[in-house]
């Protein structure tokens, strides 16, 4: 961090708003560009995979393989991020993604893309995202203060909802013009992501240790333990916290329930012959709900009692989904699904904001892995579970199953003092994780 910017890790009362600092603007530009690149190519990959393989199964399994590889690599990615400076990792990931999708776009343009090369590019990209993708999130804690973290998370939620809402339609338009365009545009925005990352000003781990006056930490950074030791230390630290295990379990269950309902609605609508436009409209609705929710979260995140508000948000998600148990009418599902997106950004801004603001900057990658991997591993099987249950128990029975997971997450949040008693962000300095 340059001398002209505030020391956000140690000065929570500086008058300069964090979104006006140069490092935060560079971080947001880089992270947003990377998210846009992933969204554009994510829509086009199954279409191109089918066009070169002429197999729906191959196209579907390629997406599944990509997700599995990303999760497996992500298991170790947090430790990699914590053992190295984040800035080179962010730039390296952007450069690699730019090269991969530039080559893919050129091969499509020349009619020479094979399924084997596409699968290789997708797998390499997934591994790179798993190993290095957490570097941007880990870097954020070195840029902004603890008290600003919930507001920053809510801004990210709104940005992600906007990208998700617009990414598929824009990707579809680009693909319709030329199949190589989504990949070329993805490569271009990764150039922006890497270029913006070069302007980041992040403290080195050694400098953080010295500023904290912790000689043992400084010595540990200088003479690092083995990768396995750091890996075990990170996961052990996460699960020895008083509140974190309860937060992880509750978040995993509600994510599983929400993702399960998403696939249940999608597959049910496909099975009854719903027009593709109306199926896609569901995703537009939930992203719009999340966008509105992120605006509310931005206004409320630094004012409300975190534990009580999180409990209310969990309960609202349950109540918004509940009417779908009684009917599968399209517009009822659309309204319920849209409303379901409203509380999600508030939960992420409050609970995840608390977790990462209370996590040492040198542990951000590993704790992020400890939080995200359980949730994503559960959600990875939602499509298969929904596809298996729908023919056997129907839409209502499948919805009840996933609603049960959400109900359990509500009970954990409400009856767990670890979650219920988390105070507002102004009191986090004196609150243990």
- Alpha-carbon 262 to chain mean position: 16
Of the residues 202, 222, 254, the one at which a domain ends: 202
User: Residue 174 class from Cβ within 10 Å (0-12 exposed, 13-18 middle, 19+ buried)?
Assistant: buried
Q: State whether 154 and 280 are in the same domain.
A: no
Do the domain assignments include residue 233? no
Q: State whether 190 and 256 are in the same domain.
A: no
Q: State whether 182 and 274 are in the same domain.
A: no
pLDDT band at 116 (very low <50, low <70, confident <90, very high): very high
Q: State whether 252 and 130 are in the same domain.
A: no
- Answer whether residue 219 shows pLDDT above 60: no
pLDDT value, residue 348 = 81
In angstroms, the Cα distances linking 63 to 105, 129, 160, 368, 386 are 18, 14, 20, 23, 17
Q: What is the mean pLDDT of the chain?
A: 79
- Answer whether residue 300 shows pLDDT above 90: no
Q: State whether 138 and 264 are in the same domain.
A: no
Of the residues 176, 202, 228, the one at which a domain ends: 202
Cα dihedral angle (360, 363, 369, 370), rounded to 10 degrees?
-70
Cα dihedral angle (112, 115, 121, 122), rounded to 10 degrees?
140
Q: State whether 150 and 281 are in the same domain.
A: no
Whole-angstrom distance, CA of residue 200 vs CA of residue 193: 11
254 in Cβ contact with 317 (< 8 Å): yes
Name, in order, each residue with C-beta under 8 angstroms of 320's C-beta and a sequence gap of 6 or more: 336, 339, 340, 342, 343
Q: State whether 407 and 320 are in the same domain.
A: yes
For 103: left if phi > 0, alpha if psi spans -120 to 50, otherwise beta; the answer is alpha
Do the domain assignments include residue 82? yes
pLDDT digits over 351-376, tens only? 887 887 777 767 777 777 777 777 67
Q: State whether 281 and 183 are in the same domain.
A: no
* Structure tokens belonging to residue 287: 């992203």
Full-model pTM: 0.67
For position 334, which CATH number holds?
A: 1.20.1250.20
Number of domains in the chain: 2
- Alpha-carbon 389 to chain mean position: 27
Parent domain of 53: 18-202
């Amino acid at each position: 961090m340059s001398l002209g910017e505030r020391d956000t890790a140690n000065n929570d009362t500086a008058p300069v708003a964090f979104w006006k600092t140069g490092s935060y603007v560079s971080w947001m530009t880089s992270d947003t560009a990377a998210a846009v690149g992933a969204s554009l190519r994510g829509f086009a990959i199954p279409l191109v995979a089918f066009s070169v393989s002429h197999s729906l199964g191959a196209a579907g399994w390629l997406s599944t393989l990509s997700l599995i590889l990303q999760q497996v690599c992500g298991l170790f990615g947090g430790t990699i991020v914590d053992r190295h400076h984040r800035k080179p990792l962010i730039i390296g990931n952007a450069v690699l993604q730019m090269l991969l999708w530039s080559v893919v776009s050129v091969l499509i343009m020349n009619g020479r893309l094979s399924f084997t090369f596409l699968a290789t590019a997708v797998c390499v990209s997934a591994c790179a995202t798993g190993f290095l993708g957490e570097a941007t999130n880990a870097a954020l804690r070195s840029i902004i203060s603890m008290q600003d973290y919930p507001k920053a998370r809510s801004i990210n939620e709104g940005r992600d909802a906007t990208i998700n809402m617009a990414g598929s339609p824009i990707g579809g338009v680009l693909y319709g013009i030329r199949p190589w365009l989504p990949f070329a545009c993805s490569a271009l925005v990764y150039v922006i992501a890497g270029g913006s990352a070069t302007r980041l000003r992040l403290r080195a781990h050694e400098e953080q240790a010295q500023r904290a006056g912790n000689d043992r930490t400084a010595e540990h950074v200088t003479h690092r333990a083995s990768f396995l030791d750091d890996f075990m230390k990170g996961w052990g630290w996460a699960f020895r916290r008083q509140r974190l295990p309860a937060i992880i379990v509750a978040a995993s269950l509600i994510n599983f329930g929400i993702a399960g309902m998403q696939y249940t609605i999608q597959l049910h609508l496909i099975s009854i012959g719903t027009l593709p436009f109306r199926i896609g409209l569901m995703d537009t609705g939930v992203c719009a709900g999340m966008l509105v929710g992120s605006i509310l979260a931005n206004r409320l995140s630094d004012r409300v009692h975190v534990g009580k508000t999180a409990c209310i948000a969990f309960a609202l998600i349950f109540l918004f989904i509940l009417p779908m148990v009684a009917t599968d009418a399209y517009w009822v599902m659309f309204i319920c699904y849209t409303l379901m997106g409203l509380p999600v950004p508030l939960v992420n801004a409050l609970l995840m904001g608390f977790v990462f603001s209370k996590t040492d900057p040198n542990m951000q990658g590993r704790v992020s892995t400890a939080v995200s991997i359980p949730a994503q591993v559960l959600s990875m099987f939602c499509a298969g579970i929904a596809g298996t249950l729908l023919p056997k128990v129907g839409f209502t029975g499948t919805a009840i199953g996933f609603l049960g997971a959400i109900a359990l997450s509500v009970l954990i949040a409400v009856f767990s003092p670890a979650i219920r008693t988390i105070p507002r962000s102004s009191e986090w300095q004196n609150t243990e994780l």
